[in-house]
Amino acid sequence: MIKDLPDNTVQDIAIAVALEGETVEGKTWYVYIINLKDEPLENILITSKGYGEKDGEQVKTSTLRHMIPSLSPKTSAIIEPIDEQTFGLNNEYWLSYYIANTIYDKKFIFLPESIVDMNLIKLPVVNKPGVMIK
């Protein structure tokens, strides 16, 4: 039965955490979806949540759901702001979208302490420093 399912592999799509700016109070971060494909994405659904251990206790954040009607080729869209206090948790983004009439989905997980200055790169399309999972 599983062999009968189509292989809808997600390629050329990224989730990124970008540094938007810095003030005396702290840094401002946003999560983006980046479409590196040459075709648009339609009906994009993203759920986000954080989970893990902090100070010896299990912690879970609320699950948030986001909908983006469409995303043109070689563009990006903001999913949500993200608080630096959650960087010590697993930050999970479950992405589903359509291309034509075919659905694709993939889970992206930023592991604890992976969003640090040492891992920052210049993000494609967004052109800001950040951490990206492709």
Q: What CATH number did the domain enclosing 68 receive?
A: 2.60.40.10
| pLDDT digits 0-9 by tens, 66-107 | 999 999 999 999 999 999 999 999 999 999 999 999 999 999
Average of per-residue pLDDT values in the chain: 93
User: How many distinct structural domains can be found in the chain?
Assistant: 1
Q: Is 134 part of a structural domain of the chain?
A: no
- State the pTM of this model: 0.91
Q: Is 94 part of a structural domain of the chain?
A: yes
99 lies in which domain range? 2-127
SS (H, E, C) the chain: CHHHCCCCCCCCEEEEEEEEEECCCCEEEEEEEEECCCCCEEEEEEEEEEEEEECCEEEECCCEEEEEEEECCCEEEEEEEECHHHCCCEEEEEEEEEECCEEEEEEEEECCCCCCHHHCEECCCCCCEEEEEC
